[in-house]
Amino acid sequence: MKRPFDPILVEVIRNQIAAITEEMTLTVYRTGRSGMCKVGDFATAVCDRYGRLVGEGGSPYQMCVFIDTMENVLAKHGKSLTPGDIIIANDPYCGISHMPDITLIAPAFWKDQLAGFMISYSHHTDIGGRFAGGISSLCQSSFEEGVRIPMLKLYDAGKRNDVLLEQIVANVRTPEEWVGDVDAKVASCWKGQEQLTKLIDKYGMEQFNATCDYLVDYSERVTRAAIRQIPSGEYVEETLFEDENEVTGGPVPLKVVVRVDGDQVTLDLSSAPPQVNASINAPFVSTKAVTRAPFKALLPGDAIVNVGFARALDVIVPPGTLLNPRYPAAVGGRASLMMTLSNMVYRALAKALPGRLGGVGEGADMLHFNSHTDGRYVSFMDVFFGGWGGRPSVDGVDGASPLVMGGGYGSMPAELLEREYPVIIEGFGFVPDTEGAGRYRGSVSVYREWRFRKPAEVLLRTVGLRGSEGLDGGGRGGDAVNIHRVGEQSTVLPPQAHVHLHVQAGDRVYHKVHGSGGYGDPCERDPALVVRDVVEGKISLERAREAYGVVIHAEQLTLDDEQTRGLRSLMRPLLAAAD
């Protein structure tokens, strides 16, 4: 006899599944060797016996990637899985975002029945290849980017494949760190298997499977309900992608058509330009993930990104293009293109739902360091973020990762970097007067400056060169800046998404993330909020006057109400004429 639906029990199991992903995440965080496992560039997930995500421990983007990951796991190993198996993969043509994203997938069994899958992924600081890190835009094919691992068994019935591991490790620059991070993910999968077994012991396989079915169906229902709030029609966003001119030869036109038909969306990228001989191509799995992920912003907080979510979001991209390249196109340096594409979808949704969504988020800019001294390689990746754009009723968030990347990403602590690597953090903070002005301002830029204690190869990755545009009359944020300092001489580097540098001991590198766009007319901003920003050092007195029409007494940092009213009465007609 079929058990009646019990919403309380479903919610209990759902939260216990979430607890399993949290335990898996904490395992990676506590045992991972690299700094990347300390700042959030990793994710975990629990899937049911069909490979459907039912518990997520990462960003909406990464969860969308895992949908394709599991399809490829099942296609290759679905009939040959046994207890104790763990699959390792990084193949961007087999459901992984790019080669540095080493992903482990482990089937979980309960009384000899396949009960589900554990996924544990993290970004590794090296995967071999022409350039350390595997993300340089200068790679012209997949063969230059590193070691490609196409869904192989790292563990077969509990026995580790030492030959495979030795072959991979022989091709990476930081073998001890590489193996340490893999071992952390192995432990994460084991922890997930152990906890899932306990859950099914308690509630039974039938109830667990029924809960998984419900969570997938619920995700689809709430996604379709959110889509029905969007008026049917086409919403178009176009831009010239200029961040990679050094490898594309000039600006590349991009066009996204968000086609809404009742409760179904088609993300039409049919006009995508041809693939290029550089690693800025976005593999199809990344394109699907990064265009679907912005829709998470429309859903209630308890909705899970799983197959049900994706069913309502079709993605059309012709093969052989920049957004769906054919093998062996290089794809490791696709971050700037991906974030541009994600922001285009988000802005199209903001147009479709005026007053509902705010500006886009900024990140993840990064410095990759690789030094070969004392007979060994030392590498780290230092990722950090600008923040969010202004929103319809509140300011953007300063220094936070973009919405599509979730809230789990952070910046590597200076203490960790300085203890583990030959580098000094000379500065890390906000840059005044870089926000997009608005009724609700966007985030200010964040800067970071490194001083190197040993010679090294450095790669600076800038995800967005220009500040993002505002919404509903809001201003644009400030642009990104890279500076190389040698002694007393400072060189402003050309604006490009990937910059390679040879640095010597004592050299410094400064990087500023671009600022976020504001929301609404700056002259409608509450003067008290402008005063607060001045007091906190986020904008100057001049900026307060020129961008917001707010006059502040320099000594007391208090509002001059009368002069503010007069200045704003003069500014509003000028702004209206400019529009």
Residue 241 pairs in a beta bridge with: 252
- Give dist(CA 170, CA 39) in Å, integer: 27
269-323 pLDDT per residue, tens: 999 999 999 999 999 999 999 999 999 999 998 888 899 999 999 999 999 999 9
Query: Is the Cβ–Cβ distance between 517 and 482 less than 8 Å?
Result: no
Q: What pLDDT, on the 0 to 100 scale, is given for residue 576?
A: 59
- Give dist(CA 118, CA 44) in Å, integer: 7
Q: What pLDDT, on the 0 to 100 scale, is given for residue 353?
A: 94
Please state the rounded mean pLDDT for residues 458-470.
93
520-572 pLDDT per residue, tens: 999 999 999 999 999 999 999 999 999 999 999 999 999 999 999 999 998 87
pLDDT above 70 covers a percentage of the chain that reads 98
Could you give the 3-state DSSP secondary structure of residue 296? helix
Non-local CB neighbours of 269 within 8 Å, separated by 6+ positions: 255, 256, 257, 287, 291, 315, 316, 317, 321, 323
- Give dist(CA 94, CA 76) in Å, integer: 10
Non-local CB neighbours of 26 within 8 Å, separated by 6+ positions: none
Please state the rounded mean pLDDT for residues 417-424.
94
Q: Over 60: is that where the pLDDT of 490 sits?
A: yes
Please state the rounded mean pLDDT for residues 16-23.
96
What's the chain's average pLDDT?
Answer: 93
Q: How many CB atoms lie within 10 A of CB 432?
A: 17
- Give dist(CA 35, CA 382) in Å, integer: 8
184-195 pLDDT per residue, tens: 999 999 999 999
Q: How many CB atoms lie within 10 A of CB 205?
A: 14
DSSP for 225-244, please give it: HHHHTSPSEEEEEEEEE-TT
Query: Is the Cβ–Cβ distance between 90 and 149 less than 8 Å?
Result: yes
The tokens for 283 are 């593999």
With 0-12 / 13-18 / 19 or more C-beta atoms within 10 angstroms meaning exposed / middle / buried, residue 29 is middle
Q: pLDDT tier at 11 (50, 70, 90 boundaries)?
A: very high
Q: Over 70: is that where the pLDDT of 1 sits?
A: no
Q: Show the CA angle centred on residue 454, arms to residues 452 and 456, nearest 5°.
A: 85
Q: pLDDT tier at 578 (50, 70, 90 boundaries)?
A: low
Could you give the 3-state DSSP secondary structure of residue 163? helix
Q: What pLDDT, on the 0 to 100 scale, is given for residue 248?
A: 85
Q: Over 90: is that where the pLDDT of 413 sits?
A: no
E-strand spans in 390-527?
Answer: 423-431, 445-452, 456-461, 481-486, 489-492, 498-503, 508-512
User: What type of residue is 366?
Assistant: M
User: Distance between alpha carbon 42 and the CA centroid of its chain, in Å?
Assistant: 10
32-78 pLDDT per residue, tens: 999 888 877 899 999 999 999 999 888 888 999 999 999 999 999 99
Could you give the 3-state DSSP secondary structure of residue 440? strand
Residue 335 vs residues 138, 180, 341, 464: alpha-carbon distances, Å? 14, 26, 10, 9
DSSP assignment, residue 519? B
User: What type of residue is 380?
Assistant: F
- Give dist(CA 224, CA 301) in Å, integer: 15
Query: Is the Cβ–Cβ distance between 236 and 286 less than 8 Å?
Result: no
Could you give the 3-state DSSP secondary structure of residue 42? strand
Task: Encode burial over 60-88: b for 16+ CB neighbours within 10 A, e otherwise.
Answer: bbbbbbbbbbbbbbbebbeeebeebbbbb
Q: What is the pTM of this model?
A: 0.94
230-263 pLDDT per residue, tens: 999 999 999 999 988 888 888 999 999 999 999 9
Q: What pLDDT, on the 0 to 100 scale, is given for residue 36?
A: 86
Please state the rounded mean pLDDT for residues 489-517.
95
Q: What pLDDT, on the 0 to 100 scale, is given for residue 575?
A: 59
Q: pLDDT tier at 374 (50, 70, 90 boundaries)?
A: confident
- Give dist(CA 320, CA 337) in Å, integer: 16
